[in-house]
Amino acid sequence: MKRILLLITCLSWPVSSLLASEIGDPDRGMRLYPVCTACHGAQGAGNAAMKAPKIAGQMSWYVKRQMELFQQGARGTAPGDMQGMQMAAMAKGPQLKDPQALADLVAYIGTFPDQAPTPTVSGNVETGKQLYAVCASCHGQKAEGIESMAGPRLAGQSDWYLLSSLQKFKQGQRGYHATDHGGRQMRGMVATLTTDQAMRDLVAYINTLD
């Protein structure tokens, strides 16, 4: 494999640069991860005490997209969003300025084992199921995520983080930036969820999917 890559590199610079910009190297990414460990855990399982979500098992294109939003100031800059601000400071670290470094880090996160988190939010699963019907077009019937709709996986995510994200969209602390098209769509969606209980019911239903 290494020899083939070397050959491509010798034959054509544009091809090798294209490869470099699209494919992350998990081995190189591993060296960039230690700084994330304090909040997200050594294998990305998340840490409720730090309000840092699980990142293991999430789709790689979404992890990358969120890192870019934080880097560009399109997430984590809203007044009162303390967790988002903490995270934005991390994403803006000089070692992640290079897009290849970010791709490498995301590739490493993609190697983490995906373990189901312990449920903490309770709600009416039946009501949540009915409310979820409208979410499926972007997040999938089983909340597995749909890349072409830019909708991340929700199944397997810590429920307290799903709830807090819904609340942040509702309060305008996510999806407020002009360039954050996905987040703006989500703000439109949460506008239809009028009560905190509706969000809890939804999250309780998502907990039943895998």
* Residue 155 near ligand HEC by CB under 6 A: no
Query: Quick one: 20 or 41, whose CB is closer to ligand HEC?
Result: 41
Q: Distance from CA of residue 164 to its chain's centroid?
A: 14
Query: 71, 157, 158, 207: which one contacts ligand HEC (CB under 6 A)?
Result: 157
Q: Are 26 and 63 in contact (CB under 8 A)?
A: no
- Taking the least distance from each CB to ligand HEC, the nearer of 3 and 186 is 186
**What's CA 172's distance to the chain center, in Å?**
18
Which stretch in 9-17, 23-31, 44-52, 119-127 sits in contact with ligand HEC by CB under 6 A?
44-52
Check residue 149 for interaction with ligand HEC (CB under 6 A).
yes
Q: Is 182 an interacting residue with respect to ligand HEC (CB under 6 A)?
A: yes
For ligand HEC, the binding residue among 29, 39, 103, 104 (CB under 6 A) is: 39
Number of Cβ within a 10 Å radius of residue 194: 10
Residue 71 tokens read as: 């880097």
Distance CA 67, CA 52 (A): 14
Q: Kindly give, in sequence order, each residue whose CB lies less than 8 Å from that of residue 74, ignoring residues fewer than 6 positions away.
A: 177, 179, 180, 183
Which one among 15, 134, 141, 179 touches ligand HEC, defined by CB under 6 A? 134
- Site for ligand HEC contains 36 (CB under 6 A): yes
